[in-house]
Amino acid sequence: MASRLEFVRYVCKQLAGAGAIRCKRMFGEYGLWCNGRFFATIERDMLCLKITQAGREMLPGAEIVEPHVGARFLYVERLDDPAFLAELVQRTCAALPAPILHSKRRADNGEQVSANDIE
């Protein structure tokens, strides 16, 4: 079952304090970027964070989920605290490698939901 757009908008709004949040529809679900760095997905109405030491420290005991075959993420249940989420995203992104810049040869046909567009 695909994630509900209402849930995606809620998560984007909660994450807005972390930086420039961009949400793009991918393979029927959503990928999340903060300041150009891919850090999580929203799949089956779950926020799934890339696994880093920082994430494990802030989410001790968090369930590791496989939202799609071959992927392992930390399941983020605590969505009601924007300040906590901002710190979690910032620390996670700081621990991830820098994004690889690709040329703009391909058209970007994915639906994007920006936290700034949500009211």
Q: What is the spatial distance between Cα 44 and Cα 94, in angstroms, rounded to a whole number?
A: 26
| 10 belongs to a structural domain | yes
Please state the domain count of the chain: 1
The CATH number of the domain holding residue 13 is 3.30.1460.30
Give me 45's structure tokens: 């109405």
Which residues neighbour 110 within 8 Å (Cβ) at sequence distance 6 or greater? 24, 25, 26
| 109 belongs to a structural domain | no
The one-digit pLDDT tens for each residue of the chain (119 residues) are 789 999 999 999 999 999 999 999 998 899 999 999 999 999 999 999 999 999 999 999 999 999 888 999 999 999 999 999 999 999 999 999 987 777 765 555 555 565 555 43
Alpha helices of the chain — where are they, by DSSP H? 5-15, 53-58, 82-95
| 11 belongs to a structural domain | yes
Q: Would you say the pTM of this structure is higher than 0.85?
A: no
| 78 belongs to a structural domain | yes
| 106 belongs to a structural domain | no
| Amino acid in position 32 | L
pLDDT at 1: 72
Domain that holds residue 71: 5-95
| 108 belongs to a structural domain | no
Torsion of CA 21, 24, 30, 32, to 10 degrees: -30
